[in-house]
Amino acid sequence: MTKQSEPPVDDETIHARIIDDIASGYFAGGARLKISELAERYQTSTNPVREALRILQGEGYVEFEPNKGAMVKRIDFNTVRDTYEVLRLIEPYFVGWFAEYATEQAISDLEAIQEKIEATTDMTRTVITPLDNAFHNRIADFHYNKRAAALWKSQRAALRVFTFRLPIGRSRHKAICEEHSALIAACRDHDPERATAVIRLHIDHAGQHLYEQIRMRDLQNEPQDRT
């Protein structure tokens, strides 16, 4: 791991800076997080770094192993399953409300974001993920329950961190566009039942896509039989 000097930061931002470094791929899954190196990188003392790592452990980004210390958690089937189960419980709650009460402006906002998603030819997550987040955030932010929205956003943030280096692909991009369009249509009709059915299917398809990517990654990383 190459040491790199960064501008000084307040203690409160160290947690966010580590997450950003994980999301950008600077710290890959399985990378060891040495407290002294992190303190040097963020130009702070070791105590705030220890506290940030403790919080990150509780959030599921970091794990501690005996005699090794803190390491970036590597995404696995259980992580994806648990996260998508939470999303499947919470997001229909937002979508049903949005479909019933959304204003013309709110629906038009979704359509504008969707046009950008459909127009993109770059299949990397650095391009598609921010647009996809904007689409789903518009729905969640319309809801009055900000605490539930914060919980939902934390789960989506975890997925962004763990899936940054995984490809999306044109077939998944096409499915995203089709499912978003179906969701917008249900919201335009103010049909909560149809809208919640669409979002559950959308979440299920996203989870299945990620499961397959993890399976392929693990197969590629398996030791080859040289006999």
Task: Print pLDDT tens along the chain (227 aa).
Answer: 444 544 555 556 898 888 888 877 788 778 899 999 999 999 999 999 999 999 888 877 898 988 889 998 877 788 888 889 999 999 999 999 999 999 999 999 999 999 999 999 887 777 888 899 999 999 999 999 999 998 898 888 878 777 766 778 889 999 999 999 999 999 999 999 999 999 999 999 999 988 888 787 777 766 555 44
- What domains lie within the chain, and their CATH numbers? 11-72 (1.10.10.10), 77-221 (1.20.120.530)
Question: CA neighbours within 13 Å on the CB side: how many for 224?
Answer: 2
Single-letter residue type at 172:
R
Check if the beta carbon of residue 35 is closer than 8 Å to that of residue 69: yes
| DSSP type of residue 121 | -
Residue 62 in 3-state DSSP? strand
Q: Which residues pair with 70 in a beta bridge?
A: 33, 64
CA–CA distance, 84 with 82 (Å, rounded to integer) = 6
